[in-house]
Structure 1
Amino acid sequence: MTNINSLSIVVPVFNEEDNLPLLFGEINKALSSLDKEWQVIFVDDGSSDNSLQVIRSMGEEHPEVKYIAFAENCGQSAAFKAGFDAATTDVVITIDADLQNDPADIPALLREYERGYTMVIGWRQKRQDTLQKKVASKIGNAIRNKLSRETVKDTGCSLKVMDTKMVQKIPMLTGMHRFLPTLMKMQGATVSEVPVNHRHRQHGESKYGILDRAKATFLDLLAIRWMQSRHFRYSIKDRNL
């Protein structure tokens, strides 16, 4: 069993001004009854709307709100990495800012983590997306699993709980946030999947195109395969240090 005393929720943000107060309200509701210290680290990825101003205002009212603001747009992997590096808690939790992930699922993921895993990921059983996105996601998930030798049911779900020290060791290159389960396993993580809710986007627009992401993901898969082929771990029998 693993006891979690503190947690950080890392939220990459790019032009999500209308969703942010709603998201924090739902996170606060989901976590306020837990006997754990928590904070939300919003990472503004060079937003061109009022997202940063909204985050600053929430921070003035709520001490649990922390933020990092990039000078320019760097991408989701960079935003996650900045949040991971800033965390000093037992675990980090990742969640999207678009409200499609449900913060009410976080306690269930934490309970699963405390059973002894070092990573727990959400599995969106009932996707609330267009048919085109559902088909593209299903095909993409199958290809990713095949090429990366994985069995993950839902590689694209952003709702994840991870051991902080372990995830901080991951080499986060552009696009690597899509392969966090594989990268965590390379660090020795034990991974479990938990069914979670999935919702329609309420405000704003999706920040990616299906074809653009497919091209980038294929190149990233080649990088993952190379990393797996060159990865090593060692155990020490004796030392005098």
Structure 2
Amino acid sequence: MSNKDKFSVILPVFNERDNLNTLFAELKRAADATGRPWEAVFVDDCSTDGSLEIIRSLAGANPEARYVAFAENRGQSAAFCAGFDAADSGIVVTMDADLQNDPADIPAMLDIFGRECEMVIGWRARRRDTFVKRISSRIANAIRDAIVDDGVHDTGCSLKVMRADMARALPRFKNMHRYLPILMKTAGARIREVKVNHRERGAGVSKYGTLDRALAGIWDLIGVKWLISRHIGYTVKEKK
């Protein structure tokens, strides 16, 4: 099997110590079932709960596990970008480390990827979040759709499959991970959605999804709208 079939699972981590062993065990089971070469790239965002020690242990015991450790807390977007840069494959899979995304959905998403699409997005049709987080998400989605309509049901689902070269070429800014579908679409990616399982959080507490974060995202939306309006695209007719 050629290296183009290999995929890299990018896992930003901030204080998820009690979820990591279970996460990797589930991921290994799902990834091995694909029959493809794969790797897990953990990106520790300067955790303070001992997550990095668990990651080091996983990397030491499993050839598929690698990691990047930040010197200071830089946020989820920076962690995803560091994972894109570190990935040793042509396909990147992004997911959260809190066990709400189900690794068992990855094989089906990979089967669809490449069939007239450069990105596959998970759609959490049945959310397992707290009431506050669900309401915050609905408000954020309504505002986002009014300003930048990416044409997908669930842009906030972290479980995504993308072409690695396209992901690396995207403009980078704080909170850019929230706008990956519209950024990829602007870059020429064809997108498909797949309904995926969504679970209650494992151990730890949520770091994202509160109302103040949803409202703060309006500023990001204005910037994304500007980026899209200034995008330069072209089609080559002929070259020598």
Give the TM-score, by structure 1 length: 0.95
Q: CA RMSD in A?
A: 1.4
Map of 2:172 onto structure 1: 172
- Cα separation, 2, equivalents of 1:176 and 1:209: 15
| Count of aligned positions | 238
Q: Does 1:72 align with 2:72?
A: yes
* Structure 1 residues 178-197: Cα deviation after superposition (integer angstroms, max 9, x where no partner): 00000001110000010000
CA distance in 2 between partners of 1:183 and 1:155 (Å): 11
Structure 2 distance, partners of 1:225, 1:88, is: 32
The answer (yes or no) to whether the contact 1:88–1:164 under 8 Å persists in 2 is: no
- Give me the TM-score of the superposition, normalised by structure 2: 0.95
Runs of 4+ in 1 over 6 A off after TM superposition: none
Query: How far did 1:88 drift?
Result: 2.7
Asked whether the equivalents of residues 15 and 51 of structure 1 are also in contact (C-alpha less than 8 Å), the reply is yes
8 Å Cα contact 1:8/1:41 also seen in 2: yes
Question: Which runs of 5 or more residues in structure 1 are unaligned?
Answer: none
Residue 30 in structure 1 maps to residue 30 in structure 2:
yes
Whole-angstrom CA distance in 1 between matches of 2:163 and 2:120: 9
- CA–CA distance in 1 between the matches of 2:23 and 2:58? 11
Between the aligned partners of 1:110 and 1:237, the Cα distance in structure 2 is: 32
Q: Distance in 2 between matches of 1:237 and 1:180?
A: 28
Q: CA deviation at 1:150?
A: 2.2
Equivalent position of 2:98 in the other structure: 98
Deviation digits for residues 160-188 of structure 1 (CA, Å, limit 9, x no counterpart)? 00001111100120011000000001110
Kept in 1, the 8 Å contact 2:7–2:39? The answer is yes
What secondary structure is seen at the aligned counterpart in 2 of 1:193? strand
Q: Aligned partners of 1:194, 1:208: CA distance in 2, in Å?
A: 23
Write the mapping of 1:1-241 to structure 2, written as runs, cut at 5 A: 5-208=5-208, 210-239=210-239
Aligned residues of 1:175 and 1:216 also touching (Cα < 8 A):
no
Contact 1:124 1:196 in 2 (8 A): yes
Q: Percent identity?
A: 53
